[in-house]
Chain A
């Protein structure tokens, strides 16, 4: 809009240009905007571009518009939440809240842009994106997948002029690779369309489907399901594994309710006995990590760890750190500070990561790992800390871990006294 328009030769407004009616040739049925249409992963407008350039006559008929469902599925989690690749934990939380309001059924901001199907898909993508990005382990895995699929490494970059809201950053995206000179979501999205028109697959949307070689903690069900399923099967896969870390690609609207219900069951399952009092938003399915769980009031930890493991098996046990001696982590393991440290390092996390999620101070975390008992707070707090810590690392049976640690602590202190 900065352009001076002195020497415009545009005709008067009232006069429509000759031939503004689109030619009726090559009438392509427009892409239906309903959910089922979403099943096609292939960019739709393959045919028209081929036909168009040959048209000597004025305005070519518009090719079928890609539905927003496809766009939504092609968006990275960072784009879904509209945050930068290096967004902090707090930024992610804030973006999640904003996005949930934005895509709620009552939102007046989107009803005239998105169909209800699209809004529902978007809302479920927001959930998935939040679940993955707020968990450092999941997020790291996801970032790796993005890199592998050529969507670029995290690249913090200054955002264009319209910065200034709470989101705190631009969103380096596809554009960075497709069109390196450009850096915005708007461009990324149009780049997506341009790519689509070039009849290339827009993005490896199914990127999470192939179990990445270095992500062996992938739960068996998830690893099995995505074995190159056709699109339709992808939806089922999403259903089965939603509580874990599925790239929730095609979620037909009908299934969303089911998924949510399932997720709520997961959330209510005894995997998270510690978090009776926590305040995770109800819409949030099965968080792998409890952010808000209070430090105090853990349940009797030693009790029934076997029982809990029984039902916890599905998601958590499978996510257990894989290799070496940790593979025999279980009820019999003695969880020492050094062992926790080892597990943490294996997960590629440092104390700051844990601290950011659990809100436990670095000092306390370090003292736990070093077993500097005298500097630790009251036992009941430490128990809560360790539960949080264990959840963060996806160690099965966090309560059991805490019990084991505390047992050792008690013994040690007993010896001293």
Chain B
């Protein structure tokens, strides 16, 4: 299970999850692409489809017992779509137990790869889905604001992940403070240091969690050679100062062909692969294809 997130809207999460899904399906994997944007779903549009009759809303309303029941076929062989919730399902009303049920059902899907397209922002839902994936894929742009959001998103997701698993009230309080305190925590390493002050075993455990918090990175809309240097810089900075191990998956060139493909509701991977951006997207797809096999081997 892969989750495409990154905090900021318009960075290309839906574009990438749909096109990577198509790429993987064309390589022969059985793939489900699921629109986990609970509120502003539009992944079906990226796929060039009408809103299907069954959506996640049916699962949430218990009309369907499994996510698998609401998936619909797409024009691409081996590729299924889980359409999102279009009507207002105000995110705060989405109960924690509901979310757990959904994550469980994601996990039980019988597919080679499940791609979650997350919504923008850093709501708890989004953060929890990101952390629940086998690998969270950060999508960002070579712009200061996008990178900054991306860091905040990653940190918050990690802290949420720890908090969801945490029983000790004291540590929970520290986690809440780290996320929302007046001076938000600089990074996980500092937090782990603080935990070590009260519980060294716990600190070790958190350090392990950090080590194995798998994250990958895609920088979208790069326009220059300098832009292509940003992904290694981001992953190097995240490693040195926050302790995250972030694997750069590749950059996507800025290119009118993408804009056009979205506008024409023709996924770029479904058609001719000629433009630089399309080739970049395929390269990212290839990297994820490799990860699918990697994870399978690890099971």
Contact = CB atoms under 8 A, between A and B. Distances in A.
A117 B61 CA distance: 53
Among B165, B192, B240, which residue has the most Cβ atoms of chain A within 10 A?
B240
Contacts of A190: 189, 192-193, 196, 203, 206-207, 210, 243
A: contact size bracket: 35 or more
Contacts of B178: 62
Interface in B155-192: 161, 163-166, 169-170, 172-174, 176-178, 180-181, 183, 185-187, 189-190, 192
Interface string A152-165: 00000000111111
A186 B211 contact: yes
Given A59-B177, A79-B240, A193-B190, A17 B169 contact: yes
23 contacts: A1-B133, A2-B134, A13-B92, A17-B176, A22-B177, A65-B185, A68-B186, A71-B241, A99-B236, A107-B233, A109-B236, A110-B233, A160-B211, A161-B214, A161-B294, A162-B215, A162-B247, A184-B245, A187-B210, A190-B192, A190-B193, A190-B203, A194-B196
A114 interface: yes
Contacts of B244: 186
A11 interface: yes
A8 B164 contact: yes
A194 B193 contact: yes
Given A58-B173, A162-B245, A196 B193 contact: yes
Contact of B233 (A66, A101, A191, A197): A101
Contacts of A298: none
A1 B21 CA distance: 22
Interface string B102-129: 0110010000000000000000110000
Contacts of A62: 174, 177-178, 181, 185, 194
Contacts of A184: 211, 245
Contact of A160 (B92, B204, B234, B245): B245
B136 interface: yes
Given A20-B172, A189-B243, A190-B193, 9 more contacts: A1-B133, A5-B104, A5-B165, A101-B229, A113-B186, A186-B210, A186-B239, A193-B196, A194-B200
Nearest to A102: B233
B239 A182 contact: no
Contacts of A113: 151, 186-187, 237, 241-242
Given A5-B165, A65-B190, A182-B211, A12 B173 contact: no
B80 interface: no
A112 interface: yes
B148 interface: yes
A347 interface: no
A6 interface: yes
B289 interface: no
Given A110-B233, A190-B243, A197-B196, A14 B132 contact: no
Given A17-B173, A98-B232, A162-B214, A60 B198 contact: yes
Contacts of B237: 102, 109-110, 113-114
Contact of A112 (B148, B196, B245, B248): B148
A49 B197 contact: yes
B12 interface: no
Contact of A164 (B125, B226, B247): B247
Contacts of B183: 30
Contacts of A102: 232-233, 236-237
Nearest to B197: A49
A19 interface: yes
A63 B169 contact: no
A301 B104 CA distance: 76
Interface of A: 1-6, 8, 10-14, 16-20, 22, 30, 45, 48-49, 52-53, 58-60, 62-63, 65-66, 68, 71, 75, 79, 82, 98-99, 101-102, 107-114, 160-166, 179, 182, 184-187, 189-191, 193-194, 196-197
Given A164-B247, A179-B204, A185-B239, A193 B198 contact: no
Interface in B200-243: 200, 203-204, 206-208, 210-215, 226, 229-230, 232-237, 239-243
B193 A108 contact: no
A184 B212 CA distance: 11
A62 B178 CA distance: 9
Contact of B132 (A1, A12, A17, A30): A1
B288 interface: no
Contacts of A197: 193, 196-197
Interface stretch (B65-73, B139-147, B267-275): B139-147
